[in-house]
Amino acid sequence: MSGEVLYSDVKFPQKNKGRKADDQTSTGKESDVTYAAVKFAEAPSDQQQETATGTADPSVCRVSSCRQVALVVTLLCLLLLAAMIFLTFYLVGVLQGVPHCPQEWELSSNKCYYFSNDTMDWNSSHKNCTSMGGHLVIIETVEEQRFLSEKAKQILNNTIPNTKEELSHWIGLTDVVKEGEWLWVDNTTLSSSTEYWATRQHDGGKEPDNYDKLDKSGEDCAHLLPVKNKTLNIWYDASCSSHYKRICETMPHLG
C-alpha cells in the first residue's frame, strides 16, 4: 500500500564452516536469518503526473501567457478610449457647424425667416425686425420667392377670415426715396431678374401702380399677397401706413 513499509523473512544460508551436517540436522534450526526491510515509495499525485507529462491545469495561468493577455486587453481599452474621444470631438464639431434659427423662426436655404401673426405699418414692421436682430426680408433668388410664396399660401389656407390685412406680408422693398426706384432695406437696387410684381385681377393692371386715391403720398412700400394658383408674381405696392403682417429675415447661428 502507498506510504507503508512491509517486512518479510528472507533466508540467506551461510556456507558450512566446519560444522557437521548432523549437528545442523539435529538442531532443526537455521543457523542464520537476516531481516530485510522493503519500502514501497508513495505513488505520485495527479497534479504531479500532469506536470510531468506537460498537461498542467488549464485554470493555472503561466506568467508569460498572462502578461500577453493583459497587454492585449490594455491595448484594446486604449484603442476604444481613443475612438470615443475622436467621436466626441467629431460630433461636437459637426453640431457646431449646423445652422439653426432663433425660436419661432424658420430655416430655409441658409436663412432664417419670421412670419408674424400681428399687423403693423411698414416702418414699424422694419423696426420690429431689426429689434430681433434681422430686417424685413430681402428676396434675392427665385427659390427664395417660391419658399415665401408657398409659406404665405399655407397661412392663407389656415386663416379665417381671409382679409387682405391678415394675408398680406410686408417685404423690405420701398421707393419712398424716389418714385419708381425700388430699393431693398440694405439700399441695393431691385434687379429686373428678381421682380415678381402681380397683375391685378379686377382690372388686369400691372403692379406697382402708385395708387393715391386712399393716401395722397401714394403707394411706396411693397407687400406680397399669396394666391391659390402657382404664379410667383404676388407683389403689390401699398401705402406704407397700411397695417399688414411682416416677414423678417436674419442669418442663422452656428453651434
Decide: residue 195, CB within 10 A, 0-12 exposed, 13-18 middle, 19+ buried.
middle
pLDDT of residue 87: 76
Tally of CB atoms within 10 A around 51: 14
Strands 245-250 and 169-174: parallel
- DSSP annotation of 106: E
3-class secondary structure, 35: strand
Please write the tens of the pLDDT for every residue from 84-136. 887 766 665 555 567 889 999 999 989 999 999 999 999 999 999 999 999 99
- Strands 135-136, 245-250: pairing is antiparallel
* Span 18-32, average pLDDT: 46
pLDDT at 142 > cutoff 90: yes
Which pLDDT score is estimated for 4? 52
Task: Supply the pLDDT for residue 162.
Answer: 74
Radius of gyration of the chain (CA): 54
pLDDT at position 58 over 70? no
Q: Which residues pair with 218 in a beta bridge?
A: none
pLDDT greater than 50 at residue 21: no
Residue 224 pLDDT more than 70?
yes
Find the range with the poorest average confidence among 63-67, 234-238, 242-246: 63-67
DSSP state string for 168-236: -EEEEEE-SSSTT--EETTSPBPPGGG--B-B-TTT-PBSP----SS-TT---EEEE---SSS----EE
pLDDT classification of 225: cutoffs 50, 70, 90: very high
CB 136, CB 129: distance < 8 Å? yes
For residue 15, give every residue at least 6 positions away whose Cβ sits within 8 Å of its Cβ, in sequence order, or none. none
Going from the C-alpha of 247 to that of each of 52, 168, 179, the distances in angstroms are 91, 10, 23
User: Measured between alpha carbons, how far is 144 from 25 in angstroms, rounded to an integer?
Assistant: 142
Output the pLDDT for position 42: 54
Instruction: Give residue-wise pLDDT tens across range 68-89.
Output: 888 888 989 988 998 888 776 6
Domains of the chain (ranges, CATH numbers): 5-96 (no CATH), 103-254 (3.10.100.10)
Which pLDDT score, from 0 to 100, does residue 59 have? 52
pLDDT per residue over 154-194, tens digit each? 988 887 777 888 899 999 999 999 999 999 999 999 998 88
Confidence (pLDDT) at 44: 53
Q: Would the pLDDT of 17 be above 60? A: no
Q: How many residues does the chain have?
A: 255
pLDDT at residue number 85: 86
Asked whether residue 199 carries a pLDDT value surpassing 80, the answer given is: yes
Amino acid at 111: K
pLDDT number for residue 223: 98
